[in-house]
Chain A
Amino acid sequence: MNLPKLHGVHVPHRKNTAQMPPQRMNAPQTVTIPMSMHIGAPADPVVKVGETVKVGQLIARAGGFVSSPVYASVSGKVKKIDDMLMSTGRFMKAIVIESDGEQTPYEGLTPPEVTDFQSFINAVRDSGVVGLGGAGFPTAVKLGVKDLKQVEVVVVNGAECEPYVTSDTRTMLDDVKWIRRGIELMQKFMGVRRVVIGIEKNKPECVKSMGDMASAMEGVEVMALPALYPQGGEKVLIYHTTGRIVPEGKLPLDAGAIVINCTTLAALAKYMDTGMPLVEKVVTVDGSAVKEPKNVIAPIGASMQSLFDFCGGFKSEPKKVLYGGPMMGIAVPNTDFPVMKNTNAILALDEKDAILPEPTACIRCGSCVDACPLRLMPAAIEAAYNKRNVDRLRELHANLCMECGCCAFVCPAKRMLVQTNKLAKGLIAADNAAKKAEADRKAREAAEKAEKEAAVK
């Protein structure tokens, strides 16, 4: 395909754990399982404090259409159900389970009966699987398309472009059978004809394992993509694998594509064949402060600290701890935060990596414009935001930004361009809300006026 490629940046790979098969950690004494590990409505707890639960048992059902059920990741006793601080800064209900250390599986676990598209989607919903690449969008909603003819291509995301993170790499090496099963299920029940697996070239062993798998299948191809961050960004991946462009404000499906992360696919397939829903995750534990970086199979709800402890603790004092990779990861204020469904890595950075250089004045070098995969003008967005110029922000398509961080990465003046763009989006949203409120008020007044006039007559 000779389409012009989207821009990006060459980030250091630091895939230190790529050769390390995941090790299962022992169940920690307690797990804290948030009710919102996905986009959409929080799940509703169905267990009470003091109740005994087993691994894989439903502890909270989906709280709406765009939601996902939650299952116990350890066997033990429900200790409390309470609000807890999330990395977003909001409080969210969470179920705390005290582990009995037995990890007894729930007796009622049986593979779901899947016969057609609808039962397939129901099973996907029951699996508790959400977008495991990071977004956490409920997979059943993504796959539950109204018109299956719309799905012209399925792109399996194996790009894993974030530095450090190797959990998808391990899936593509260790869980080939589950990825294959997942693709077969989508082919069978969704009538998918074309599947493209996109993998960054810096993972030749994954390209090979997936290539070997694909050669034995029909309609599946593997594409080795340049190791150019953010290759795994949804819109970027769709464009580079299929040449399709997702228009602003639309979904990949509008361009005839569905993107599914390789680990998401494997988790789905596991549930379909074993009946064990999503209760554990492979998490890359790395960063300059971690003594023995590893890939860890952790129960969902295990605290970050318990994973760091499993990796030998810290070799130097951590100054920053992240959910996810360094380009888009979320910094947390302490290590009590739990592993969630969409956690693919936790990083602890020492002082040298944690303290970022102070921003200086923009020198208008244009590096950010050259780096932006979506061809935005981050420096211009920053200038418009500083003037609180909402119309200009709309003109510059600030809402299109996926916050990949390329602009801030290349900026020689170390401007906090992603932070500013987040604020810019907030400003646009606030302005939209204010405009809507104003329009509503006018409409109401007009209606009242018309009513009065009618009454006079």
Chain B
Amino acid sequence: MSELTVSVSPHLRGPRTTQKIMLDVLIALCPAFAASIIIFGWRSILLTGVSAAACVACEYIWERLMKQPITVGDLSAVVTGVLLAFNVPSSMPLWELIVGDIVAIICVKMLFGGIGCNFVNPALVGRVVMFFSFTGDMTNYQFPSMMADKVDALSSATPLAAIRAGELSWDYFGRLLLGTHGGVLGETCALALIAGGVYLCVRRVIKPIIPLAYLGSTLVFGWIFGSSHPVLAVFSGGLMLGAIFMATDYVTTPTTNIGKLIFGIGCGLLTALMRTFASSAGAVTFSILLMNLVVPYINDLTAPKPFGGVEAK
């Protein structure tokens, strides 16, 4: 008989892998991707494709140079690339987007040890760097071509700006759901993002705790702080994309359910605060990043109590 393998139990492993999880996230992003093509045109495909390719290339080249095992097969870099592209307007120059990709993958992910080791969300930091480096291009929100003939509150500004000015009413709810208004690629169509979120929950890739806590608390705190339309605000800006796809990143969010709840509410509070009292642009990004930073403390405070555990003297 040939040699037998000897290893520690268990000798049976579940079907789930990191790659399958990331693939599910990509599938969940597909409705929003499709919406962005319909709303903003073919450039959406170009930006998303280039961004994903750039992220994968960054990770691959880094690992080759550092003589590390190649991990691009886990698809996490593709997810980062797609999310970054979803955060830029369709007119964004390609090279500027690639700068964001490099920052996200090299500075935030690989320098800290690769997948699982980053302490903040790579895509969000990439977005922040782009936002401050190329503010003009990042805020050059494109208006859907199919809406060119309609001039109204949504044509000149983003829905969030319109809410701040008190110019948005329930009439626009349908357009917020469909995403036919000015904004960045992946965040305008709330329906597509919600569909992706539901898919992730059904596939048990994420639990609905963080998105619900985040969206719910943004609504409640927005109302408390006197937003002109707290409900529409939930469907505006980057909140839906952030709450479903950014604030649920495993690496940078708490592990326990109660920790997730605290994290979600914290994000919502910060978002409502920033949207009301500071600039509406980037409120979601900074809220999630700030909450990312306190995750280790949330994890410590919400650690589960071991079954039958006796405290050490």
Contacts and interface: CB of A to CB of B under 8 A. Distances in A.
Interface of A: 6, 9, 11-12, 163, 235, 239, 245-250, 317-322, 326-335, 349, 353-357, 360-367, 369, 373-377, 379-380, 394-395, 397, 400, 403, 405, 408-414, 416, 418-419, 422
Contacts of A322: 11
A351 to B, nearest CB: 9
Contacts of B14: 9, 409-411
A369 B310 contact: no
A248 B250 contact: no
Interface string B1-18: 111111111111110111
A413 B71 CA distance: 12
B251 A408 contact: no
A375 B305 contact: yes
A394 B9 CA distance: 23
Nearest to B12: A326
A375 B307 contact: yes
B10 A405 contact: yes
A11 B12 contact: yes
Interface in B1-42: 1-14, 16-18, 20-21
Interface string B181-209: 00000000000000000000000000000
A317 to B, nearest CB: 6
A321 B3 CA distance: 10
B16 A410 contact: yes
B309 A397 contact: yes
Nearest to B257: A370
Contact of B4 (A248, A333, A356): A333
A385 to B, nearest CB: 14
B117 interface: yes
Contacts of B309: 248, 375, 397, 400
B249 to A, nearest CB: 9
B122 to A, nearest CB: 13
Nearest to A354: B5
B11 A357 contact: no
B250 A366 contact: yes
A327 B10 contact: yes
A335 B3 CA distance: 11
A412 B18 contact: yes
Interface string B107-118: 000000111110
Contacts of B276: none
B4 A408 contact: no
Contacts of B307: 6, 235, 239, 245, 373-375, 400
B74 interface: yes
B4 A246 contact: no
Contact of A356 (B1, B11, B304, B308): B11
B11 A326 contact: yes
Majority secondary structure of chain A interface residues (helix, strand, loop or mixed): loop
Nearest to B206: A365
B255 interface: yes
**Closest 6 CB pairs between A and B?**
A405-B10, A366-B255, A326-B12, A419-B8, A365-B250, A375-B304
Given A328-B9, A328-B10, A412-B17, A362 B312 contact: no
Given A357-B13, A397-B306, 17 more contacts: A239-B307, A322-B11, A331-B4, A333-B3, A333-B4, A333-B6, A356-B11, A361-B115, A361-B117, A369-B256, A373-B307, A375-B304, A375-B305, A400-B306, A403-B9, A412-B21, A413-B17
B262 to A, nearest CB: 14
Contact of B7 (A239, A331, A353): A331
Contacts of B255: 364, 366, 369, 377, 379
Contact of A361 (B7, B17, B71, B306): B71
B61 interface: no
B303 interface: yes
A363 B306 contact: no
B312 A317 contact: no
17 contacts: A235-B308, A246-B308, A248-B310, A319-B2, A320-B11, A327-B12, A328-B10, A329-B9, A357-B17, A360-B18, A360-B74, A364-B116, A369-B256, A373-B307, A377-B304, A397-B306, A410-B16
Nearest to B7: A331
B248 to A, nearest CB: 10
Contact of A412 (B16, B304, B306): B16
B255 to A, nearest CB: 4
A64 B2 CA distance: 40
